[in-house]
């Protein structure tokens, strides 16, 4: 299967209340968050106990399909860690 040349696009900032927006609000551009080490009580535990939407962006993302890339199946019940990358770019040939 042949693929067309890559296309650049910008994903809009995540809406408030999403995991994406909360992680971006830290101001840290790239980090890993160990969800196994979350506190068992308190505001952080309470926040992560609730479902929050997050983007599930893969190789087939497009402007037209953007609304379809939201899921609430995330957080400590689904993952051991979250890897956050605020800004990325298309792969370049070697």
User: Residues 29-66: pLDDT tens digits?
Assistant: 999 999 999 999 999 999 999 999 988 776 777 777 77
The pLDDT of 14-18, averaged and rounded, is 91
Question: What three-state secondary structure class fits 83?
Answer: strand
As a whole number of angstroms, the distance between CA 52 and CA 83 comes to: 16
Do 52 and 18 meet the contact criterion of CB atoms below 8 Å apart?
A: yes
Averaged pLDDT score across all residues of the chain? 84
* Domain residue limits, the chain: 19-85
Residue 3 has pLDDT above 70, yes or no: no
Q: For position 7, what pLDDT does the model report?
A: 67
pLDDT digits (tens, 9 = 90+) for 71-89: 887 688 888 999 999 988 7
């Amino acid at each position: 299967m042949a693929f067309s040349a890559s296309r650049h696009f910008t994903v809009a900032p995540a809406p408030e209340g999403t995991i994406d927006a909360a992680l971006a609000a830290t101001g840290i551009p790239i980090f890993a968050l160990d969800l196994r080490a979350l506190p068992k009580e308190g505001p952080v535990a309470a926040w992560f106990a609730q479902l929050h939407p997050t983007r599930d962006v893969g190789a087939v993302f497009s402007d037209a399909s953007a609304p379809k890339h939201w899921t609430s199946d995330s957080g400590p019940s689904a993952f051991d860690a979250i890897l956050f990358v605020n800004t990325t770019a298309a792969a370049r040939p070697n």
